[in-house]
Every structure is written in structure tokens, then in C-alpha cells.
Structure 1
Amino acid sequence: MPMRRRACGHVARRARLLWFARPVTHSLPALLGRHQAHDPVTTGPEPRSAARFWADVRAIAAHLPELGRGDRGGRSELVLVCHDRYLFAASMLAAWERGYVVALPPNAQPAMVTALRKSGTVQTVLHDVDDMAGLDVRAIVASRPEPNGEVYAPPAPLASDRRIVVVYTSGTTGAPTACPKTAGQLVGEARTLARTFAIGRGDRVLATVPPHHIYGLLFGVLVPLVSGASFARETVLHAEPLAELIARDQTRVLVSVPAHLRALRVLEPGRIEGVARVFSSGAPLPADTSEDLRERFGWSVTEVLGSSETGGIAWRDRAGAPWTPLEGVKVREGEGGRMLIDSPFLDPGVSRPYVGGDRVAVLDEGRFHHLGRVDGVLKVGSTRVSIAELEARLLAIPGVSDAAALAIEVGGARGWESWAAVVAPDHTAQTIRAALLPWLDPVVIPRRIRIVDALPRDPGTGKLRRESLRALFQSE
């Protein structure tokens, strides 16, 4: 989600004021509570029913290590690495059935999984990956028949204060940070999202975002499970396979990120039909991408603002429009326009208001304009420059398909300078600078520009880590 990441689970030092009322914790819905036994949980040529899904959950749970008495209370974790969204969901619920907390690594790289597994609280790894140590859940569910004659009863609602998941920030501004989540935060938010955007029984959801990311977890797994909808097992990133999957499953709800949505411009107008709702998060959606999707496919893309730390904050249906806070969320301006948040999706132990790392301008009825990161506006010489504005100007240059800018502190009177990497095969650094000059003060024009074949974005979320972007310039 567009907000950058801060350390989770700690009291915000500036957030001692308690002038926001604590939100009331509503009772949580039961996962699968809106599914009848034969309702599909997954889409595709071989959909899995709610009864089959719940039987698979119990089968996986039976293979999990027994928790000792001293391990209960949210202290024992299972690392979950499943690319198949159905196996991911079944394994997650199985872990909860046995009292475990599910740890979701920021990626499935072996070194990252090994590092998490060495934690003293981790018991094992649930996975669907070849040559990975732990419990391969594929074999458990592979040959199970559809339940016949069994009485189907969905799981009981989880206790709202129970810790159920640890998600990790993407590391966009540094090392990934653990963010523990309670059932009240996650399941409560999923219910709010389903209600706000009218997602319910019969809806078919396809996410291009992997489920270990909080946005993909909420929209791609938990929202369908609480609303009676079904979800695609696959996580498809590229335009043609995505269009084929949408047609195969008659997808109605597409959950994606700007980088993936931008790639759909290679498809002919009208190539994708039947999608009623499109969501985007992870970064601001460029206005030209939003308009192009509207013209090609008739889509009005809903952007969702949030972060691993805060959960969802707000939404809007048009690029540049004010943001509308989600139900129960309040946003106000702090010192220097800094975002102050109170929300039912915050860690219960965090003091209110939570001091965010973004700037806002609050309007009527709590709506607001998002003005970018607090640390995303800096001075080059005596001129203020917004990294977000610089990136927007780069993306507006004809022939530029992707771009990212980086601020580097150089000290002295200059203070900072900007660097930029762009995907623009028909351009040179000189032509890029020339295209920026009509819009930007010369001192703001990036000192170093790299023309690259592709930016090193995370394939699932489309995000760029600062270290990866900076590495592009180290080879010069």
C-alpha cells in the first residue's frame, strides 16, 4: 500500500494524546459463515466447495505438531509459504485450528525462509515448494474426495484479541519489519472491506498480489472467506495470461497493483470483459493509467491506501480525488500536516493517534488529500522537490514505461540530489533531461539517470526497495 513502512507494535513516541475515542470492537464473523456447503471457495475448472475446503483444513491440522501447554497464547508460529492460494488459505486456517500463529515472510527466497525458521518460536514451515524443508501440504489434499454425507459446520469465530498472523513490511525503506496482527484487526478489516465495496456471494475474485502481502491476504483470501465469494488459486502477473484467466473464471473482482495494471495497456480495447470492480494499492495509480483503463475496458479503479502497520486507511475511485476513510477510521492533521490515525485495524497496544509517515490535508467530512511521504519532500539547494512529483513527470514522458527516483544526501549547500532510473528504450539520459526541463527547475533535474530494460520490482507487489534501486547506479 502507498504508505511506507514503520516499525510495528511499538508505541508511537508522539502519540501520547488520546483525543480520539477508541473504536468499539465488533463481534467477528465466522470464516466461511456465508458459504453453504456446496458454495465454491475457489474458481476455475475444478472449484473447491466450502465443505471440501473445511475438510482439507482439518486434514492439514491433523498433521501439525501438538502445541504444548506452555506454547499456547500466541507464542508458537508456523511459517507459511504456499503459492497456490487454496493451499495457502487451507494451511492458514489449519494452523489457527491448532492454536498457532502464522508467520508470512516478505518473500519465498530460501535465505529469508531459513532465517525465519531459525526463530525460537517457529515450529515448522507449511509449503507447496519443491525441495523445501517442512510440511508439504500438497500431498495431504491431493487425493482427498469431495465430502459426502458429512455434516458441514463452518469454524467458530476467532477471539478478536487473539494474535493470528505476523506479516512483514516489504522493506521498501529498509529491512523488513515484523507486524503482529490480531483476529480483530484482520478479520474485522476483511468484513469492513466486503461491506464497503459490496463483495458477496457469487463474486469471483482474482488477485495479482501474493497472499503473504497484507493487501493480497485481505482482498485475495480473507474478504472472499468472510463474504461468501470465491477466489482464484493462481497469482498471474502478465497481461495475456491474466486476460485468459479472467475469461476462464468470469472474474468480477480484480485485485492488483499499479505496475500490473499499467502492463495491461498492451491488450486491445475490449480484450477483458465482465470485470465489475478493480482495486489497486501499493503505490499511487498514475492518472494516465487510470484513464487508459477506463477507455480500454470501462474500468473505474478503486485505490486503497494503507500499510502493514495501519491496515487499510481510505479509498478513492478516481486518481487525484480526495480519499474517503474506511468505516471506523479517522484521519487528522498533526504538526506539519503529518497524518494522525485512529482505526480499529491498528495494533491494540499502539497509543492513539498513530503518527504516520505521510502528510495530509484534511477536508470536509474527514476526507483528505494525501500529500506524500514526510521524507519524500526535500530541498535540493534552496528548491523543494517532491520525489513523487518527479516520478510522475518521468512517467508522463512519451516512451517511458516505468520510472523511479531516489534522493541521495550529498551534504554541503546542495544538501540532496536526485537520481532516476527509467525504462525507455528510445531515450537517452540527455533526452530525458530535456523532457523534464519545461516542468522542473534545473536544479531538481536528476544528476544521474540510468536507462534500464526493467526496474528491479518485486514481481508480486510491484514495489521497489531503496537498496535495489540504489544498486542500479553502483555498476556505473
Structure 2
Amino acid sequence: MPLLTSLTDPAASDGIALTVGEVSLGREQLRAAAGAVADRVAGARAVAVEATADARTVTAIVGCLLAGVPVVPVPPDSGDTERAHILRDSGAEQILRAEDVVLTARGTGTHAVPAGDATALVLYTSGTTGAPKGVPVTHASIIAGLDALADAWDWTPADTLVHGLPIFHVHGLVLGVLGPLRHGSPLVHTVRPRPEAYAKAVEQGGSLFFGVPTVWSRITAQPDAARALGAARLLVSGSAPLPVPVFGRLQELSGHRPVERYGMTETLITVSTRADGERVPGLVGVPVKGARTRLTDDTGAFLPHDGEAVGELQVHGPTVFSGYLNRPDANATAFTPDGWFRTGDVATIDSGGRHRIVGRASTDLIKSGGYRIGAGEIEDVLLALAGVREVAVVGVPDDDLGERIRAFVVGDGVSAQQVIEHVATRLSVHKRPRDVVFVPGLPRNAMGKVVKQQLR
């Protein structure tokens, strides 16, 4: 079955396929214009697309997919070094920009449906541990992932998806652009995820809204915008943990308990709260259809799913990639001997299969005084302290403890001693920060994730 069924199915009805900013494209117009792109790129080894939030950019991506040519999304704000690395490493033979696409063009429509194991996208990781690594994602993996989310979220053609996320990552591109084009739900892309734009999209029939925690935090800071979202069907948060206070404020203002989910570039979305399931702050749900998960300790021993044991999360299933592009060294350590992908994230899983993501093993699992401590648990507690707006917790070397807990805090009217005591009285004493550093802001990447390497 083709990936973009709402465009390739002859029985699919016409109508608005997507709106990006002020530009709307019907399904027939998108199919025709993308067909012209397909004619242009057919046979290329790979094509890079400068991933601006523009209807012409979406058309370029769709055209490459229709032609069976791998798409390499390039962040529009990438620097010269990053851009050169992506183009060289991916083997892209062309680069398409929005101005290269003519929305009134018409293609021949003669391209064969790509095989399921053909590469659809080459996405690049954030590069926090070196140069970004290329992740080939197949048509079959995307189909499996999107169909699993349709099952989990009751996603149908009756929905209108709204978001303003970048379209060079899994969240904004795979879920946020290819998802509606597969399931037949119109897309409204707000160009930027401003609270007022999300509120306005409700008037355009928006029912399913995607955002990262920063987006939801800013929306709750504008109560009228948050209340407007009460008319939506489902709010989905991902790409980083949603702070518990933001979850609560969003529920208070909009009436919605947001759905949280977990995934990676290498795995797509493997765990999610279900639309018909219990939504608990801090939990990202259960494995989606086809996905399996497990926890291991430092020795590789399997850990119990008791909600307490903290271990490395490993995943297996049809959405998991087969290996990094041109990186046999990374592939050698990315998978277990029995073929499970090592996410590098630490988590707990309870007896009901519900997952709590503690964070990255490299930055969020703190080993202090013989204890294994999750930074995320401490951060959630501190965000409930009056005066704390943002917080990031890391472990730093300590001659006595191995690592000691340091909290970076953005806030007003709160002292270091209050921060320490707040944690000590609500969690185990050994989880209290030993150091508190007040900062004007936290370093974040394009998806709103805190870049803890810069803090360390």
C-alpha cells in the first residue's frame, strides 16, 4: 500500500489537503504539483529539501516520495558546517528550495509505487555526541508507525491536524505532515506555534493539535488561547517530557488531559498514551501496535516492570530503523546481539506496561553515593515549587559520591536552600541537589529540548 494514500487513491475525494500559513492546496492540486517535482527528481540517489514551513516545501517532499527518491530534510537555520555534513553524508544529488517549486505545475503521474523497504527519508540526529548521524527511514516503517498512531489516537479523515512545528524532524514531518496525507485529515500548519495561531485554528476546524512542551507552556501562559482549545478533540505532547505543572494547567484551562508519547528518530513513535486510555502526568503510555519494549541494567540483565526499577529502554518492532548511514562503528553498539535497539534513554515500566522516561542515560541517569537517580523526577518536583519557572538537573563529578546532583534553576524569589529542602522533603533525601545554580535561561534545541551537555 502506498504511503500517501489520500493522494494516490483514485477513490479519495478532493478537498483541502493542507494549509500552511495563508496558502491552501487541494488534494488534486498538491498531487499535480508534486507530480511535477517527481518528474524532475526521478532516478536521483537522494534529494535534499530545505525544510522551511511553506506549502511549496511540502510539495517538494511529497514529489520526492512519489518518485521513490529519498528525501533529506535540511534545517533552514543550519550553519555551513552542519549543512555541508548533511549534504555530503547523505549523498544528495540535488537540493530543492521552496522557490524551486511551482504550485500550478502538473506532472505525468507515471511513477511506480516505491517498495516498502525503500528509503523514504534520511533524517539527521541532533548531533549532541558528535556530527549528526543519518537515519534512513523506510516507507514501510512510516506506514507502520502512522497506522499504529491512528489506532492509538482514533485518528481519522474527520480530524483536522494543527501544529506549527519544524518539518525536518519526526514530530513535525512524519507525524505532522505525512500523517495527515496518509490518513486523509486536512493539515493546518501555523508556520510558527504561537498560542494565538493555535487558538485561531480551532475556528478552521482544528481537532487534533500537536505541540512540544514549550508550546504548551506558552499556551497556558495565555489563558484565552488555552480555553479556546477546549473545542479540540485531542492535544498531543511530545519530543520532550511535559512538565507536570504544565499538564495540570492545560487541563485546568482547556479541559483536556493531553496525550503524551515517546519516540526517537531511529524508532519513530513506539510508546503512547491512548485516546481511550488513562492519561497520567509524567507517563508516556504503553507500546503502540507492533512495538515491544524492555529494560536492562548496566550488565544487560533484564529488569522487572514494577514502576520502580530504572534501566535502559530497549525497543523492537516494525518502525525501528536498521542502522545509521555510513556509520558501522555506531551500528555496532546501537543494537543488542538479539536485534533490539538501545535507545540510550532510561525509563521505568509499571505492571500495566506504562512507561515513565527518566531521560538520557548520558545526562539524566545520575549515579550518586551508590544510588541510581533519575533527573526527571527531581525536575518535576522542583517545577511545582513557587518561583521556579524552568529547571534542569544534571550529575557532576564528585570525589566522594561519584556524582553529585546539581540543579540549574530559572526563577524569581526562591533561594538555593529552598530548592534543596523542597526536594529533600518530597523525595528521598539522597535525591536532593547538592548545588543550585540560578541562570537566566536554559539552552534548548529547535524542538525545545534542554541541551544538558552545554550545562555540564
TM-score by length of 1: 0.78
Instruction: Answer yes or no: is 1:169 the counterpart of 2:125.
Output: yes
Say which of 83, 104, 123 aligns to 1:113: 83
Kept after mapping to 2: 8 A contact 1:273/1:297: yes
Any idea what the Cα deviations from partners look like across 1:28-70, whole Å, max 9, x if unmatched?
A: 6635246845221113765310011011112333444x64xxx
Cα distance between partner residues in 1 of 2:265 and 2:449: 14
**CA 1:298–1:77 in structure 2 vs 1: closer, same or farther (change >3 Å)?**
same
CA distance in 2, matches of 1:371, 1:122: 35
Of the three residues 366, 371, 386, the one matched with 2:374 is 386
Q: How far has the Cα of 1:217 moved from its partner? A: 1.6
The answer to whether the 8 Å contact 1:85/1:211 transfers is no
Distance 1:59 1:234, change over 3 A: farther
Match of 1:20 in 2: none
Q: Give the Cα–Cα distance (whole angstroms) in 2 for the partners of residues 186 and 282 of structure 1.
A: 17
Match of 1:262 in 2: 217
Contact 1:236 1:242 in 2 (8 A): no
Unmatched 5+ stretches in structure 2: 274-278, 304-311, 324-334
Contact 2:7 2:27 (8 Å CA) reproduced:
yes
Measured in 2, the distance between the counterparts of 1:123 and 1:59 equals: 18
Is 1:377 aligned to 2:365, yes or no?
Answer: yes
What residue identity is the alignment partner of 2:70? Answer: V
* Paired residue type of 1:325: P
Q: 1:101 pairs with 70, 73, 79, which one?
A: 70
Secondary structure of residue in 1 paired with 2:266: coil
CA contact (8 A) 1:168 1:179 kept: yes
Check whether the contact 2:68–2:114 (CA below 8 A) recurs between aligned residues.
Answer: no
Is the Cα contact below 8 Å between 1:342 and 1:354 reproduced in 2?
Answer: yes
Distance in 2, matches of 1:469 and 1:289, equals 23
* Residues 55-102 of structure 1 deviation map (CA, whole Å, 9 limit, x = unaligned): 1112333444x64xxx6xxxx222222222532321112223444211
Question: Match for 2:63: what amino acid?
Answer: A
Match among 321, 329, 332 for residue 294 of structure 2: 332
Amino acid paired to 1:379: K
| In structure 2, distance between residues paired with 1:440 and 1:199 | 39
Give SS of 1:42's match.
strand
How big is the shift at 1:278? 0.9
Query: For residue 287 of structure 1, what is the aligned residue in structure 2?
Result: 244
**Is contact 1:54-1:154 (8 Å) kept?**
no
1:30/1:38 Cα in 2 relative to 1: closer, same or farther (>3 Å)? closer
Tell me the equivalent position of 2:14: 38
- Is the counterpart of residue 236 in structure 1 residue 198 in structure 2? no
Give distance in 2, aligned partners of 1:379 and 1:119.
Answer: 36
Q: Which has the higher contact order (CA 8 A, sep 6+)?
A: 1
| One-letter code aligned to 1:354 | F
Q: 1:426 pairs with 413, 421, 436, which one?
A: 413
SS in 1 for 2:426: coil
From the superposition, tell whether residues 321 and 113 of structure 1 become closer, same or farther in structure 2 (CA, over 3 Å). closer
Match of 2:440 in 1: 453
What secondary structure, in the 3-state scheme, does the structure 2 residue paired with 1:457 have?
A: coil
* Corresponding residue number in structure 2 for 1:19: none
Measured in 1, the distance between the counterparts of 2:241 and 2:14 equals 39
Aligned partners of 1:58 and 1:94 also within 8 Å: yes
* 1:165/1:182 contact within 8 Å kept: yes
Report the CA distance between 1:27 and its aligned residue. Answer: 7.7
List alignment gaps of at least 5 residues for structure 1: 1-25, 129-135, 471-476
Q: 1:282 to 1:303 in 2, by over 3 A?
A: same
Where does residue 48 of structure 1 map in the other structure?
A: 25
Residues 97 and 228 of structure 1: is their aligned pair in 2 closer, same or farther, counting only changes over 3 Å? closer
Contact kept? 2:90, 2:122, Cα under 8 Å: no
Q: Which residue of 1 aligns with 2:306?
A: none
1:254 CA drift (Å): 0.4
* Paired residues of 2:241 and 2:282 also in contact (CA < 8 A): no
Instruction: Indicate how the Cα distance of structure 1 residues 198 and 442 shifts in structure 2: closer, same or farther if over 3 A, else same.
Output: closer
Q: Distance in 1 between matches of 2:128 and 2:245?
A: 24
Once structures 1 and 2 are overlaid, which stretch shifts more, 267-276 or 45-54? Answer: 267-276
Tell me how many residue pairs correspond in the alignment: 418
Q: 1:206 aligns with which of 151, 158, 162?
A: 162
For residue 280 of structure 1, report the CA deviation from its aligned partner. 0.9
C-alpha separation in 1, matches of 2:249 and 2:153: 23
Residues of 2 paired with 1:378 and 1:233: CA distance? 39
Q: State the match for 2:451 in structure 1.
A: 465
Query: Residue 52 of structure 2 aligns to which amino acid in structure 1?
Result: H
Residue 196 and residue 392 in structure 1: after superposition, are their counterparts in 2 closer, same or farther (change >3 A)?
Answer: closer
Question: Is the Cα contact below 8 Å between 2:164 and 2:189 reproduced in 1?
Answer: no
Q: Alignment partner of 1:339: what SS?
A: strand
Q: What's 2:57 paired with?
A: 88
Query: TM-score with structure 2 length normalisation?
Result: 0.81
Moved more, 417-426 or 32-41: 32-41
| Whole-angstrom distance in 1 between the partners of 2:340 and 2:430 | 38
Q: How much has 1:188 moved relative to structure 2?
A: 2.6
Q: Secondary structure at the match of 2:261?
A: strand
Higher alpha-carbon deviation: 367-376 or 186-195 = 367-376
* Equivalent position SS for 2:34: helix
Secondary structure of 1:403's counterpart equals strand
Alignment equivalent of 1:225, drawn from 157, 172, 181? 181
**1:369 corresponds to which letter in structure 2?**
H
1:58 aligns with 2:35: yes
Which residue type is aligned with residue 32 of structure 2? A
CA distance in 2, matches of 1:172, 1:461: 13
